[in-house]
Every structure is written in structure tokens, then in C-alpha cells.
Amino acid sequence: MFAVTATQIDADNPLTGLTVGEAPEPEVPDGWTTVTVKAAALNHHDLWSLKGVGLPADKLPMILGCDAAGIDEDGNEVIVHSVIGDPARGGGDETLDPKRSLLSETHPGTLAERVAVPRRNLVPKPAELSFEEAACLPTAWLTAYRMLFDKAGLQPGSSVLVQGAGGGVATAAIALASAAGFRVYATSRSEAKRERAQELGADAVLETGARLPERVDAVIETVGQATWSHSLKSLRPGGRVVVSGATSGQVPPAELNRVFFLQLQVVGSTMGTRDQLERLARFLVKTGTKPLIDRTLPLSQAREGFAAMETGDLFGKVVFTP
């Protein structure tokens, strides 16, 4: 079958390890099933995998991709939940299973014509969402959903800052927060991305590091080192910064004096549960919110999508169709 595979690890030039072409059909263990992929979305996780983060060389070659929507063996339209874990080992939450992984880390991923997944990882795809839109949900949109509605502890009327408008999680967070009725602030170094963030529903969009009109209840942080100080300074006393990524660096100054004096909370968040993915899909249908897609490419042109992500030349999701 046709697939996009990591065949080499190169931290400095990750695209050198990207191979597009034929790959073996997926093996299907007991309790698993096969999904015919109709659309698959690209994530920073895929780029980091090519750099060797979370994907050691001894696992190569590995088909990349966490996100997919397609048709199961019974002909049902489904969304693939990419967290491979046991909820029982995680106290009811598969993302807290110490042995959990994502598709493309231990098991072949979704950037292929077919992917094997545990049967419990299939979520019904609402008819109101296209395959391309549904493929955007399992990583970026699910991460943003959990950050906003679970980890951030926001209530109706809350205020939130989303750092780094343009990335998949950030654009999802802006759209979801706006649909939920929060006051939404967003930042970006790019004027074009600031304009698009406002179109997505942000109440105010500012240059990175600019002073906000008010201190917010929560910050959605995926940028890391470059925006960390601004995130802490933008919180009200007792506010919460929720972190799910650190694309600009993982070791910012902690500013512990600000954290303890203002009783700020720093909360980590990774992905979401299968049940949260199902609720996210229902939320989108109910509110009419649709994932923002930067571009849709055939899987054979995957390198173009990876290159756009590497340079930051996108706003929203890159989606591939086999």
C-alpha cells in the first residue's frame, strides 16, 4: 500500500528521513481492526518523529501519522483515536496509562491507505463533518478541547489567551473558545496570522509579548520558551497556564517568584480520551464549528506539507488524502 514513512532520523534536517512510496500492509493483532483511510492530518508530532523525538532509530522504518478518518471493516464512517493505551492502567484515562503510546510511535501510523487500530479506538464520524474535517480532530483539536474544557477549568464568561495563533492546537483553541462564549485573546508575530485569528473568533489579537487589555483566567501554551514569561505575566492571580507543547524550546526561566506569589497554576496536558474525542465531534456539530484547513494535498505530495510545517508557513491543518 502507499504510505509516508520515516526511514532515517536527522535532528537538523528532518525531511531527509521522509520516504513516500510503497509500504507493507498493517498487521492486525487480536482485538484490532483495519480502517481504510479517507483523510489524514499532519501534526508537529510527525515532524518531531523525524528528528528522533519519541521515535528511536531502532523502530524504523515507521509509517507516520496520528490522525485519520475513514471507513471501518463494516462500512461505517469513523474517526481514529490515536492514543494506544489501557484506561484501566490510567485510572480510567488511557492518556495516563504509563505504557501508552500514539500511533506512529510503536505501531504504524495513519499516513497510509490503511491503518490498524484497536476496535475501541474508533469513534463514529458525524455526517455533518467531511472526512477531511474529521481527520483534524484526534490530535490538535482534541488537545485544544481538553486544555480548554478540562485542564483549564474555565467557566462561562471566562477569559483566555491563546499563544502562537496559526498552529493546529492554537487555531483549534481559538475556534473552540469562541464557540463556547469565552473572551479570547490571541498572539502572533505575523500580521496575516493575527488577522486570520480574528476571523476565527478572537476578540482581540496582539503581537507576541504585547500587554493584554486584561489579565486572563487561563493561557493556552504550546509555544514554550519564547512566550512563557508573557504567559505568566498575562494571568490573573490564581490563574492557570495549560501547556501541551514547547515548539520554541522547553527550558524557559521558571519565574517561580511570580508563580508562588500570585498562586498561579501550571498544568500539563497531552491529547485526550476516546470519550472526549466523541464529545468534541458532537460539540462541533452542535455549534457549527468546523476545523480550519490550511491545505489539502494528495498523500504523494506529503513532502510539501511537511516543509510548510517546518517553516511555519501555514494557518490551520494540513490534510492528506490517499
- Kindly report the CATH number assigned to the domain that includes residue 197: 3.40.50.720
* Inside any domain, residue 313: yes
Task: For 174-183, give one letter per residue: b (16+ CB within 10 A) or e.
Answer: bbbbbbbebb
On whether both 26 and 127 belong to a single domain, the answer is yes
On whether both 56 and 155 belong to a single domain, the answer is no
Helix (H/G/I), strand (E/B), else coil: 63:
strand
Q: Which residue, 157, 143, 160, is CA-closest to 240? A: 160
Find all residues with CB under 8 Å of 227, minimum gap 6, and list them.
Answer: 163, 164, 187, 208, 209, 221, 248
| Spatial distance between the Cα atoms of 318 and 103, rounded to a whole number of angstroms | 18
* Inside any domain, residue 209: yes
On whether both 131 and 146 belong to a single domain, the answer is no
pLDDT, tens digit, 9 for 90 and up, residues 69-126? 999 999 999 999 999 999 999 999 999 999 999 999 999 999 999 999 999 999 999 9
Per the DSSP assignment, residues forming a β-bridge with 321 are 298
* Inside any domain, residue 220: yes
Q: Give me the tens of pLDDT residue by residue for the chain, a chain 322 residues long.
A: 999 999 999 999 999 999 999 999 999 999 999 999 999 999 999 999 999 999 999 999 999 999 999 999 999 999 999 999 999 999 999 999 999 999 999 999 999 999 999 999 999 999 999 999 999 999 999 999 999 999 999 999 999 999 999 888 999 999 999 999 999 999 999 999 999 999 999 999 999 999 999 999 999 999 999 999 999 999 999 999 999 988 888 999 999 999 999 999 999 999 999 999 999 999 999 999 999 999 999 999 999 999 999 998 888 999 999 9
On whether both 195 and 307 belong to a single domain, the answer is no
pLDDT, tens digit, 9 for 90 and up, residues 222-245? 999 999 999 999 999 999 999 998
On whether both 120 and 233 belong to a single domain, the answer is no
- Residue that terminates a domain, selected from 229, 253, 268: 268
On whether both 155 and 264 belong to a single domain, the answer is yes
Residue 169 belongs to domain spanning: 141-268
